[in-house]
Amino acid sequence: MAIILDGRKISNEIKEELKAKTLWLKEQKKIVPCLALLLVGDNPSSQIYVASKEKACKEIGFKSIVIRLPQDASESEVLSVVKIWANDKEIHGILVQLPLPKHINENNVIMAIPPAKDVDGFHPESMGRLVIGLPGFVPCTPAGIIELIKRYDIETKGKHVVVVSRSNIVGKPIANLLYQKSNYANSIVTICHTAARDLSYFTKQADILIAAMGVPKAIRAKDVKDSVVVFDVGINRIIDTTKEKGYSIVGDVDFEEVAPKAFAITPVPGGVGLMTIAMLMNNTFIAANNFNSM
C-alpha cells in the first residue's frame, strides 16, 4: 500500500512551528502578524475557506480581520477596502477570497494588493519572482505541495512530473517551481489539461503526478504507472446517499483505485487542502517578519 502523504499531520507540525515563531516575533519585535480577509458574496465554499483561515490565525496567535461584502458589491467598493488595508501598517497580509462575482475584475483586485502583503502569491510581481527563482511569496497550494515533498523527502531530481492543470493558482506555479535547478525540484515537467485528446497518454508517463483539474475521480488506476507519487489537489463534492450529509468529498484521483499502484499519495480530504492553509499562515508570518526591513 502507498505511503499516505498526510497533510493533516504536516500542516499541524507547521502550525506548531509557527506558534513558536510568532511568540518570538511578539517578544522580540513587538509585532503581531495580522491577516486581513475579504469575502464578497455568499459562496458556501468560500465561506468555509474564510472560516478555516480565521480559525488557523487564532490557533497560531495571529490577528485576523474579516470583511464580508454582499454579492452585488461594486468593484470600486472592493478596491476601496483593499486600498485601506494596503496603507494600514498593522496589516501584514491581504487575502481577497476567490472567485469573485463575475462583475468584478479579479486582475484589478489582485493588482491592487501590494506585493509585500500578497500572501496569496497571485500578484504579477510575485509570479515573476517565482519564475526567475527570486525570493517572494509562492501561491499557497504549490507551496504546500513542495513542503510535502520536502518533509517526506520525495526524490524529484530528474523525475518526470506531469501537471494536469494550467491555472495561475496551481498549474503554472507548481510547474515553474519543479523545473528550477534547486533542491526538491530539478525535474522534467510536462503540463497538460483536459483539452488533451488522450490525457492518459501523459499521466501514464508520470513519476510524479499533480492533478488539479476539478473533475471528480478523473484519474483511474489505468491512467498511472506503478510506483507513481500522486498529489491530488482536487476537492469535489459528489452525491453520496450513504452519508448523513448526502455527499462525499473526493479528489480528482480515484484514491481507492490508484493508491494500491502508487508509491505515495495524498488523500482527499486530509491532504493538499490543509497544506494550503498552513502555507498561507507561513506566508503571513514571513510578511510580518519582513515588516521592519521594509
- In angstroms, the first-to-last Cα distance of the chain is 49
Dist CA 124 CA 131 (whole Å): 10
Note whether residue 243 is domain-resident.
Answer: yes
Q: Are residues 97 and 171 in the same domain?
A: no
Q: At what angle do helices 7-29 and 44-60 cross, to 10 degrees?
A: 50
Note whether residue 134 is domain-resident.
Answer: no
pTM (2 decimals)? 0.95
**Per the structure, how many domains does the chain have?**
2
Residue with cell 473533475: 215
Q: Are residues 144 and 255 in the same domain?
A: yes
Residue with cell 483539452: 195
Note whether residue 289 is domain-resident.
Answer: no
For 94, the 3-state DSSP assignment is strand
- Tell me which residues are annotated as active site: 53, 97, 120
Q: H or E segment at 229?
A: strand 229-232
Q: Are residues 165 and 215 in the same domain?
A: yes
* Domain final position from 50, 79, 114: 114
Q: Can you give the pLDDT at residue 165? A: 96
Instruction: Read off the DSSP letter of residue 98.
Output: S
**pLDDT (tens digit per residue) in 263-276:** 999 999 999 999 99
Residue with cell 480577509: 37
Range of the domain at 75: 30-114
| CA nearest neighbour of 121 among 269, 4, 284 | 284
Note whether residue 177 is domain-resident.
Answer: yes
CATH number (domain holding residue 261) = 3.40.50.720
Q: Which three cell numbers stand for residue 104?
A: 468584478
Dist CA 36 CA 23 (whole Å): 20
What does the DSSP assignment read for 122-147?
Answer: -SHHHHHHHHHT-S-PPPHHHHHHHH
Q: Are residues 152 and 95 in the same domain?
A: no
CATH number (domain holding residue 97) = 3.40.50.10860
Note whether residue 281 is domain-resident.
Answer: no
Q: Can you give the pLDDT at residue 259? A: 98
Q: Are residues 258 and 209 in the same domain?
A: yes
Q: Are residues 198 and 151 in the same domain?
A: yes
Residue with cell 519543479: 178
Note whether residue 25 is domain-resident.
Answer: no
Note whether residue 15 is domain-resident.
Answer: no
46 class by beta-carbon count within 10 Å (0-12 exposed, 13-18 middle, 19+ buried):
middle
Q: Are residues 89 and 160 in the same domain?
A: no
Note whether residue 204 is domain-resident.
Answer: yes
* Domain final position from 114, 148, 174: 114
| CA nearest neighbour of 61 among 17, 101, 105 | 17
For 161, the 3-state DSSP assignment is strand
Average pLDDT, consecutive stretches of 10 residues, N- to C-terminus, the chain (294 residues): 96 98 95 98 89 96 97 97 97 96 97 98 97 95 98 98 96 97 97 92 98 95 98 91 86 97 97 97 97 64
